[in-house]
Amino acid sequence: MENSAPNGQPSSPREITRREFIAAGAAALASTKMLKADTPPSNRIAADRNRPQYHLLPPANWMNDPNGPFQWKGRYHLFYQYAPVVSNTGTKYWGHAVSSDLVHWKNLGIALAPSPGGPDKNGCWTGSAVVANGIPTLVYTGATWSEESERAARAKGLIPERQIVAVSANPEDPDQKRWIKIPQDPVLAVPPAGMKVVGWRDPSLWKERDIWYMVIGSGEAGIGGLALLYTSKDLRNWTYLHPLAVAKPESGKQNSVGFGADMWECPDFFFLDGRPVLLVARGNSYFRGTYSDHRFQQGVGGQIDYGAAYAQKTMEDEKGRRIWWGWIHEKRSMQAQVAAGWAGVMSLPKHLTLLSDGTLGVEPVPEVNVLRRGRKEIPNQEILPNGALFLKDLEGDCAEIEAEIELRDSQQAGLRVRSTADGTEQTLIGYDRDSQMLFSDTTNSSRDPETATGPFPGAGRGVQSGSLKIPKADVLRLRVYVDASVIETFANGRVSISDRVYPVSPASLGIGLFSRGGTAHLRRMTVWQLAPISTNRLTSGAKLYRV
Ligand code: DQQ
């Protein structure tokens, strides 16, 4: 993510150091204790206008990274980091949701919980799912930021993170609800001898012939990201080979959540059309490159999402598609998150493809179209710099907008969403021609003072932006998904920006067009109301998450 000043010029945010991060973790823990409130009743959470209607999230409390997506017996399984308090330093569990169409999700409750006395006793962190010899298997990291002994170990430069395996209790169960940790756990207890790493977590796996390969996110202080490569025949006995990849100096990409400043969290390695691709959480980055002797040489790359998404994770589905998820975090104060009783949302599933110019294509999976209702076509028209704020008879906070805008002689043009009639609250999604940047401008998205700051770098209102080279004659093609406080934008099939907005006024529903510095032209535009995927903003099943 790049953070920008409101004039669209990228500012240069300062990376937080590891020491600052650990201190921030301790402070957050203390504030969690102060702020910890009982989970609000489900009916109150279901009535929360900020809570999305078609993005996945648990019934209450905290959600972060997507974990272990896989498809099994006709169903998509998606796990996520869950904490039973609204805090990123809370003890982590794996929450679990299932879907037969990638759109309608049912929360199934907790799939993995810390085992007292076990290597994950303080938390089940991020990991992956594979099917080995017909047995769904999870591989993840056991760790915490908050338990005193682990914090003391980190302060001494030790890495209290271990890799753990759990297998399906019943491979025939289409819900895959029960998982058993294997007696050999942890399958890996310490990072490679002699390496001074700052973290060692978030395993991701693939298979070449009969051999499993696993990459673990890591890094060295002052140097940066490392993806460490291990191999195994049975997912139990692992041998360290060498780094799969070592970060090249990076160009100002910032972690949207400020974790792992010196490391690559959540590496994900796969092949698209036979070509190797490495993803890392930092900046939702992807790298193309070469792969030989099990070493990946980082070549050109890009960013899949420029916004409030983090901890990207993919799977290949039975149709052979590479499907991407990210955690869309909150952008308001911790107090506001605790008061709401929930925090964190899963992105829509995004389909990654390899484009002919070697970059990645990024689009929502077409399954999402099943939610479309009430279609409205907007006639083509001029977009004047001082034109009307709104398009008449058009509004929505559970909607999809598809628009093609010719920039013509404008400097910036795009869409206005979640706007009041007088524009005192409004969010702009647009394109800046000179800087060739796609942007999401939430400077005026809310009058709530709790949205001025947030716990993560880049949180609070402002402009998020990132490079988008439009190959043909300045036509901006937007697909904007508005879902209460979530605005998820896809542009020209190439990039996305996920953002969060919390308008105060219930009337902040208007949809409009804008241009600056000249007149742009709307070629075509369609707006659909989208059907919610549940009747109660996905608050069913809260008791399955009690710990
Ligand atoms: N979140 C997990 C870690 C991962 C981080 C803990 C990324 O495994 O590195 O919740 O957001």
CA 303/CA 282 separation, integer angstroms: 9
Among 10-14, 136-140, 237-241, 470-474, the range scoring the smallest mean pLDDT is: 10-14
**Residue 218: CB within 6 Å of ligand 1?**
no
Summarised one tens digit per residue, pLDDT across range 164-219 is: 999 999 999 999 999 999 999 999 999 999 999 999 999 999 999 999 999 999 99
CA 97/CA 105 separation, integer angstroms: 6
Among 37-51, 418-432, 451-465, the range scoring the smallest mean pLDDT is: 451-465
CA 268/CA 22 separation, integer angstroms: 25
Kindly give the distance from the C-alpha atom of residue 380 to the centroid of ligand 1, in angstroms, as a whole number.
Answer: 45
CA 509/CA 321 separation, integer angstroms: 35
Kindly give the distance from the C-alpha atom of residue 416 to the centroid of ligand 1, in angstroms, as a whole number.
Answer: 34
Q: Is 525 helix (H, G, I), strand (E, B) or coil?
A: strand
Summarised one tens digit per residue, pLDDT across range 515-538 is: 999 999 999 999 999 999 999 999
Kindly give the distance from the C-alpha atom of residue 513 to the centroid of ligand 1, in angstroms, as a whole number.
Answer: 38
* pLDDT for the residue 224: 84
Ligand 1 closest atom vs CA 141:
8
pTM: 0.93
**Residue 125: CB within 6 Å of ligand 1?**
yes
pLDDT at residue 37 is higher than 90 = no
313 Cβ neighbours under 8 A, 6+ residues apart: 65, 66, 67, 68, 69, 126, 128, 204, 266, 268, 324, 325, 326
Give the tokens for residue 325.
């998820």
pLDDT at residue 255 is higher than 80 = no
pLDDT at residue 9 is higher than 60 = no
Minimum CA distance residue for ligand 1 atom 7: 311
Please answer whether residues 304 and 324 qualify as being in contact, where contact means their C-beta atoms are separated by less than 8 angstroms: yes
* pLDDT for the residue 222: 75
Kindly give the distance from the C-alpha atom of residue 83 to the centroid of ligand 1, in angstroms, as a whole number.
Answer: 12
| Amino acid at the residue 268 | D
Kindly give the distance from the C-alpha atom of residue 176 to the centroid of ligand 1, in angstroms, as a whole number.
Answer: 23
pLDDT at residue 257 is higher than 50 = no
Give mean pLDDT, residues 13-17: 35
Residue of 29, 62, 64 best suited for mutating to test ligand 1, as the one with most atoms within 8 Å of CB: 64
Summarised one tens digit per residue, pLDDT across range 260-284 is: 568 999 999 999 999 999 999 999 9
* pLDDT for the residue 459: 74
* pLDDT for the residue 43: 95
Neighbours of 330 (CB within 10 A): 25
Strands 463-467, 427-432: parallel, antiparallel or unpaired by DSSP? unpaired
Q: For 329-393, what is the HEC assignment?
A: CCCCCHHHHHHHCEECEECCCEEEEECCCCCEEEEECHHHHHHEEEEEEECCEEECCCCCCCCCC
Between 227 and 22, where is the model more confident? 227
* pLDDT for the residue 258: 47
